[in-house]
Homo-oligomer: A and B are copies of this chain.
Amino acid sequence: MRISELSRRSGVPNATIKYYLREGLLPPGRATAATQAEYDETHLRRLRLIRALTGVRGLSVAAAKQVLDAMAEHRGDTHELLGIAFGIRPAGTGAPGTADDDRSAEHPEAAALVDAMGWSVSAGNPARQIIDRTLQTLRSLDIEYDWQALLPYAELAERTARHDLDRIETITDPLEKAEHAVLLTFLLEPALMALRRLAQENESTARHGGDGPASTARPAPPEGHGP
């Protein structure tokens, strides 16, 4: 398969494929001549993976590369692969001014939460930082919130994780298993948040507004900033 067919079959423009090749997201094709290379189904699949991670999930191209590289390098090692994948941060997350990149910084609230839940997680997991920073931010906005308020959510997260792992364990092939683990972890995130919003609207309607919800009569559809 040559580049044009790859483009046609994936829906990704020719020039963009070349860009991904340059950035190392897509491995080069098997060169058959000085100006000719052959691509195969693995390239097509990888292209779809890239678009899924950057499109649905909103990862930056660089972050997607890291996930993909980790997947390629640690095929079959589900546990370690997930550990690596957790280290990748989505695009635009994290205040640019706040240089709090120290991995081993103390995150006391996350630690207390982890302890209270009886969880066994590494001190380096960046999720700890996210939790502490979120709590700090909420309190800076005069909202009373501490790690104990997160306990019910942690319990629900635990069940969510059990579902995740249950599903992954149905896969026997270790290579496939590792890949699915990462994809389900990452790609499901927007969907889970979407579910929460649907449930919130439902709950809000049930409790408060018996009349029609606002969303149907919304004036104009606002945009994030995308095309």
- Assuming the contacts A153-B192, A183-B143, A199-B119, asked whether A94 and B131 have C-beta atoms less than 8 A apart, the reply is no
Contact with B along A104-121 (1 / 0, CB 8 A): 000000100010010111
Does any Cβ of B come within 8 Å of A148's Cβ? Answer: no
In the complex formed, the residue of B with least CB distance to A87 is: B222
Size bin of chain A's contact surface:
35 or more
CA distance A140 to B149 in the complex (A): 39
Contact of A197 among B60, B63, B86 (CB under 8 A): B86
B216 x A62 contact (CB < 8 A) = no
Where the two chains meet, the residues of A that have a C-beta atom closer than 8 Å to any C-beta of B are: 11-13, 45, 48-49, 51-52, 54-63, 66, 78-84, 86-99, 101, 103, 110, 114, 117, 119-125, 127-128, 130-131, 133-135, 137-138, 140-141, 143, 149-150, 152-154, 156-165, 167, 169, 180, 183-185, 187-209, 212-216, 218, 221-227
